[in-house]
Amino acid sequence: MEMHRGRRLRVAQLGNGPPLILLHGYPDTLQVWSRLAPLLSAAHRVIAFDWPGMGQSEAWPGGATPYDMAERLRILLNDWQLDKAIVLGMDMGGQPALAFAANHRQRVQSLIVMNSLVQWDEKTSWEINLLRRFGWNRFALRYLPGIVFGRALRTFLASGEGLDPPLRSDMWQSFRNSQVREFIIRMCAGYQGTLPHLAQMYPSIDTPTLVLWAEQDKHFPTAHGKRLQATLPNAILQIVPGADHWMAFSM
């Protein structure tokens, strides 16, 4: 645990080299990077953290839009005395990564976006459609957390693949916390309201970008990644054959 702005923040750091920041989505925590981070640490100083308000990190004051999350990332980079970093965002970590690159391009060495809701008008799964409706997501997240969490595990991972019990327990202990879920409700609403505007900023992001997408993502089809790559002026697209949404566990 570290203290930032007077509040606890769970952070994992390993390795040396150019800093690489890993941004998770939900219902996960920093542990979603537990298999990939050690591999990346061979050449980088890898920093993963639980977003304020999620995992084991205490919430910060303010909103929960991608711009608010990007501002928290800026504060953390300042606290870690990092002028520039590689930023990797997955799922609901992808939008803050893009917002940060749009507003602070001089601080992003390169950008990686994985399996994220980056196009407000592209097709998503029925589960995501439900969670994009404020009344429905509020009900599901408040009163049906076990169903939401279980559905995520079944659809984020390849068929027959499961999480190790300690990893599953870490994520469930976070997601079962009603304060975490209330933050996620606000975050879903904030993301839904700002996504059309955020998409208008993509052409201004000239940071070298890798759009890395799972071929079998059940929630955000490859059309999201293809459009993102076509809109960003300095991006390449890599679709990972056979991969699912949580491909960080199998890369």
Please give the tally of structural domains in the chain.
1
Tokens of 10: 């769970």
Residue 159's pLDDT is what? Answer: 61
Residue 164's pLDDT is what? Answer: 85
The model's pTM: 0.94
Residue 114's pLDDT is what? Answer: 97
Judge contact between 8 and 57, C-beta under 8 A. yes
Residue 103's pLDDT is what? Answer: 96
Using left for φ > 0, alpha for ψ between -120 and 50, and beta otherwise, residue 193 falls in alpha
Domain of 233? Answer: 2-249
CATH number at residue 168: 3.40.50.1820
Q: What is the pLDDT of residues 201-218, one digit of tens each?
A: 999 999 999 999 999 998
Q: What is the pLDDT of residues 166-194, one digit of tens each?
A: 989 999 999 999 999 999 999 988 888 88
Residues lower than pLDDT 70 in the chain: 129-134, 159-161, 251
Q: Which of 90, 87, 125 is nearest to 248 (CA)?
A: 90
